[in-house]
Amino acid sequence: MIYLGLGSNQGDRLALLEQAIALIAKQIGPVVSRSSFMETKPWGFHSENLFLNAVIGVDSQIPPQELLRITQKIERHLGRTKKSSEGNYHDRPIDIDILLYDELIVHEKRLTIPHPLILERPFVFKPLLEIAPDVVHPEFGKTISELILKKKNS
């Protein structure tokens, strides 16, 4: 199972997220789980535009680099013109992050799986906890719910 984080803070956020989910289902694989939508303040930069976020679970065996290529193509199709780099974030019509991919661990220049900031971003870990509480984080060897409980208690 692949878990993708979705966010939008420009334009018709809900419509953009729904379009992204439909394109993911068509180009990557069936969307088998979907969190509630969550409105949040921007993380890592200042903007007046609130984000709408969600996490989806997708059933696919597409190789990780191909998955990245397709998600970036979907982002461009929905109006994203530039990617964040080196911690410089900005407003965007759509953002698709690869959070988890089965038990896979990838550390490459352009791709890190699991996403290294899952536990730092409430707009990621809360929706992920909603749809995948028993999924084991491959680097920590604990379920998402165990990791979140530990985070709350520390």
At 10, is the secondary structure helix, strand, or coil?
coil
Q: What percent of the chain has pLDDT over 70?
A: 94
Give dist(CA 90, CA 29) in Å, integer.
Answer: 29
**Mean pLDDT score, 115-137:** 93
Give the residue extent of every domain in the chain: 2-153
Average pLDDT of the chain is 91
pLDDT by residue (tens digit) across 38-80?
999 887 778 888 999 999 999 999 999 999 999 999 999 998 8
Judge: domain 2-153, CATH 3.30.70.560. yes
The one-letter amino acid at 36? S
The reported pLDDT for the residue numbered 88 is 59
pLDDT at 82 over 70: no
The one-letter amino acid at 100? L
At 7, is the secondary structure helix, strand, or coil?
strand
Give dist(CA 62, CA 24) in Å, integer.
Answer: 12
Pair 131, 34: CB distance under 8 Å: yes
At 151, is the secondary structure helix, strand, or coil?
helix
pLDDT-derived band at 86, boundaries 50, 70, 90: low
Q: What's the whole-model pTM score?
A: 0.92
Give dist(CA 102, CA 137) in Å, integer.
Answer: 9
